[in-house]
A = this chain, B = another copy of it.
Amino acid sequence: MPITKAPQAFPRTEYLRRLTAVKSEMAQRDVDALVVADSANITYLTGYTARSGTDPKGLVISIREDEPTIILRKMDVPAALHQTFLERRTVIGYPENLVANPEKDGYDALIDFLFDAGLAHHGVGLDMSALSVPTAEKFKTRLSKAKIVDCTGVVAWIRTVKSDLEIAYMKEAAAIADAGVMRAAEVIRPGVQESDAIAEIVATLARGANGKVGTWIATPYLCSSPRTGTSHITWTEDILHPASQINLEIAGVRHGYTAPICRTYSIGKPSDRLRRIHEAQLAGLEAGISTIRPGITGGDVAAAIDRALDKHGVRKESRCGYAIGIDWREMTASFSEGDVTVLKPNMTFHLHLGNWMIEEDFGYVISETIRVTDFGTEVLTKAPRKLFELC
């Protein structure tokens, strides 16, 4: 039987609004067809949240058509029909003999489609940052009559400003992240293996909060003494002890929308060193929250935070945050010196006061998911903004 449509994450009008914004950028670049290969961009424009490793898939947006066409592995067609707003005629499966085939792959099917649709002889936009070298070469060789236009970042920059519907999911995701932080405070104690603590935390991230289930497990990062100076590592088999410090970075996810949060936990009374860095980074975080408003730049936010940290004699080398949305990090705005992105209402950020380069074996994390409002900042994550002291 034909597969049914799942309840849609967004109404069709929301996707058409997004597509209209993309087409406006295409028109400015004299592009008749835009090829979108980045998974998060495809989610944004269709609602497709399945992830199938590195199999080629792509969305073709024609300047003349209302709906885009998705080209993906034939076995992924039912998922695309089920999850997306797309009509059946705009979901095209390529045959399975193009998978792991060194001669010809799914992008050949996509290029065939461009020819069939009469889109192979004019401006074709490609997000070069999402394409490997051999794939880009294939496009250039086969589309020799087209004008290839580098459209790197076009969709990503449109994604930076969220609609109210997207903000609603960011809030639901933030509540899930909060639940994970509070569950961590319950399960972190001396004698517990890091992996057992993470088991409880990820279970919470899947169960969700407030009747809204987690729809994905973003990889949680947990490091405890003596490796709190490390970043981007996962948990180990170590057993927490009465003086352990634990740095946790997790995220809730709703329909791709990802809200991260960081908190630091101390088993027993925190050391003076830990308490001092907490106070400094908390001051930096709050300086960021009170500074952020429409019209200022990412660089301005970083400068305000740096001033607050400076008063505490602390320096943070890494940036203080970055744009977030689908699949955690957006490759756009960044809260660091020189960032010229002008903040607008409904941009969302991971405002991140993690500091890993204090000493090689000592770091600290605190962060919030925030939204730029019409006049200032709304903090979407609501877990207590403190250094958790556990016994």
Contacts and interface: CB of A to CB of B under 8 A. Distances in A.
Interface of A: 1-4, 6, 49-54, 73-79, 81-83, 95-97, 99-101, 128-134, 136, 152, 193-196, 198-200, 202-204, 206-208, 212-217, 219-220, 226-227, 229-237, 317-319, 322, 328-329, 331, 334, 336-339, 356-357, 359-363
B360 A78 contact: yes
A232 B79 contact: yes
Contact of A360 (B2, B203, B230, B360): B2
Contacts of A4: 226, 361
A339 B237 CA distance: 40
B134 A129 contact: yes
Contacts of A226: 3-4
Contacts of A76: 230-232
Contacts of A101: 338
Contacts of A317: 74-75, 95-96
A83 B233 contact: yes
Stoichiometry, as copies per complex, reads 2
Most chain B beta-carbon contacts within 10 A, residue among A131, A233, A357, A360: A233
5 cross-chain pairs, A with B, having the tightest CB-CB distances, nearest first:
A195-B213, A100-B334, A79-B230, A199-B203, A199-B206
Nearest to A226: B4
Given A100-B336, A133-B133, A216-B234, 8 more contacts: A50-B234, A52-B232, A53-B329, A54-B329, A74-B357, A99-B334, A101-B338, A213-B236
Contact of A3 (B83, B216, B229): B229
